[in-house]
Amino acid sequence: MRRPITTVLLVLLAASANSEVRRWELGGEGLSWRSNELNSTAISYGVPGSIQLVGFNSNDNIVQQLKWTEGHPLDFIEEAGARVWDNVPFKQSNTPLIDGDLLTSSDIRFKEFGLLQGGRRFFFDLGTRFPVNRIVFFPRPDGADSRGRPFADDFIRGYKIQVNDGDSFSPQNLPIYELLSQVDFTNEGVAETRIPLQFVRYLQLNVTSDNPFEIAEFQVFGAGFAPGGRYRSQIVDLGEAANFQQLLWDFETLLQEDGTIRTDPEGDARVSFRMRTGKDETPRVYYEIINVFTGDTQEVSENAYNKLQANLRGPVEDDRSSWSEWSAPFTEPGEPIDLPSPRQYFQLEATLESRSILSGLRVNSLVVEHSIPPLAQQLIGEISVLQDPRPLGDKPRVPAGESSTFAYDVRADVTAADVGFDAIQLFTPGAPVFRDFLIGDPLVPVTPDSLIQEEGSLTLFFPSRRLTEQSPNGLRIVFETQVFVQATLFSAQVFDTQSDEAPQRVLAGDANPTVSTNDLRVLTTAASARNLLPFFQVTPGVLTPNGDGINDLAGLSYTLVQLRQPVHVDVEILDLSGRRVRTLFSGLQGSGSATRQWDGRDDAGKPVPVGIYIASVEVDAERQNYVRLGTVGVVY
């Protein structure tokens, strides 16, 4: 079992009276990338303190840059470490074929007297796609057997070379190979196949001649960089629970030119990171089969699982209760870490990508900024419809697009060592309207010291009622807003205005015993799922564009719901014959509310004649068009 990395390099950046902002660092002046690796693909450690996308010049043997494992992969599509295997029923090691040692070979495996050797196949999985232009294999160049026969004479006299580009797979997810070279007979001891530079992942050597043979080395050459590489760290143990703040990194793009690699600010390559956080030292759950007849299982440790007999090893699953999902990719340094915290453990994954064979990338350092102690040991929240705290199925439901009143409950576990907090920010799908704020156990109404109410969020400040170890641990926010999409998440975070501590996220759970939802998501009613355009209104109904500031503009307000991605929307003014007078908006729009203003002019900017006009909103959804119409009069 791999033990989590214990942090030994924590650099103090800044401190309030109670907390420290710290840096956990890989590379640079921090920990070693190589010693903290769990696994990697197409990653080089050639530059001290850095990782970089594997790159080659025409004289580099790609095989020697990889870590090899015996046996075919269980998943041919997933990118992983390099593998080698053959079709021989009695398995023996193929490591001598790729070990870089000219003194080792397959030896006598394929030299048995009287046995025809045609039909032998050798498979090489490079683990990911690499730029390849030359393939070479040969027997030991020096030495002889006990009868004095030179090893160099035992070369393959007929063969086929086939490759797969790492993108082409059958419906059964097996590599589809392309024939590169077929040699029916050769007197050349060193077999060499040259091809135009192309990406290759799988290689297959088919022996078609029957003569005894050996292979000392199978070599693959190319020039440029792998199109992608991945680095995954071991589990990191910070020693105590921390509040995660932001991810920082330093990198440089590279260019291969004239056989050398140099930095190139214009290099066409990029890096991104993912992260997950946990409460314990393994993100997996292991089960022992305690009854082989019924299949009953019990949870055991990883160590205990590895000691079990094969028939008693049960399933291994992701630990969804103690570990978060992998985050969305971090693509810019300084992005906040929006993952469950405080947590003591975390894991990182770097993805390096090149969009050009000659462009590469090097990551010099990666920093996880975090604070110890956190604002609170735990922040649990749940949302409910104010008038329905215990809904059917324990899931809050509201009509999509209509304003509803919600209660957002939070329970904070703040210890003497924690910082505490005096503000909370709630993120909403639409513009929120504040109604009430309650603190305590039992809850009692209080007036926040100040609040910010804006599109997409509601922030309350309460330094006069700061939550600490001595204060009540419950609070409730009552507010109104609209829900536009099914299963909308209402996330929230608390922060401390008196320190530099990063905000801390509220996690879903049982925050109030009188509320049964235990969740931060809100569903929409079945009836509201059938109309993507539930609301349309024109205000005022009569437009008087005289320039006096009174009814000079008409607002066309509408709401779109249940859209997972933007759709095309046209907002137009038509005359009574249906002719378009003015296009107010034509483009893509997602779920939400919008208002388009009309000033009584046509598309040419001229005032329209007195009369009645049709206001139109048309939504071009994938399966159906939705149109809502209204009228607006123009009087001068």
pLDDT tens profile 18-60: 567 899 999 999 999 999 999 998 999 989 999 999 988 888 8
CATH of 22-53+228-283+319-371, one of 3.40.50, 1.10.10, 1.10.286, 2.60.120: 2.60.120
Q: Report the top-level CATH class of 378-526.
A: mainly beta
Give pLDDT tens digits for 504-542: 999 999 999 999 999 999 999 998 888 899 999 999 999
Give pLDDT tens digits for 624-634: 899 999 999 99
Q: Give the DSSP letter of residue 529.
A: G
- Least confident interval from 1-10, 36-45, 95-104: 1-10
What are phi and psi for residue 304, nearest 5 degrees? -65, -40
Statement: residue 13 has pLDDT above 60: no
By CB atoms closer than 10 A (0-12, 13-18, 19+), residue 335 is middle
Give pLDDT tens digits for 450-485: 999 999 999 999 999 999 988 878 999 999 999 999
Q: Report the top-level CATH class of 531-634.
A: mainly beta
Cis? peptide before 336, omega within 30° of 0: no
Residue 293's pLDDT is what? 86
Give pLDDT tens digits for 402-412: 999 999 999 99
Count other C-beta atoms under 10 Å from residue 270's C-beta. Answer: 15
Q: Report the top-level CATH class of 58-222.
A: mainly beta
Residue 525's pLDDT is what? 94
Cis? peptide before 373, omega within 30° of 0: yes
Integer-rounded Cα Rg, in Å, for the chain is 33
Contact (CB, 8 A) for 201 and 124: no
Q: With bands split at pLDDT 50, 70 and 90, how would you rate the model's confidence at 7?
A: very low
Residue 231's pLDDT is what? 96
Q: What angle do CA 11, 12, 18 make, to 5 degrees?
A: 140
- Give start-end residues of each CATH 2.60.40.1930 domain in the chain: 531-634
Residue 19's pLDDT is what? 62
Q: Give the DSSP letter of residue 306.
A: H
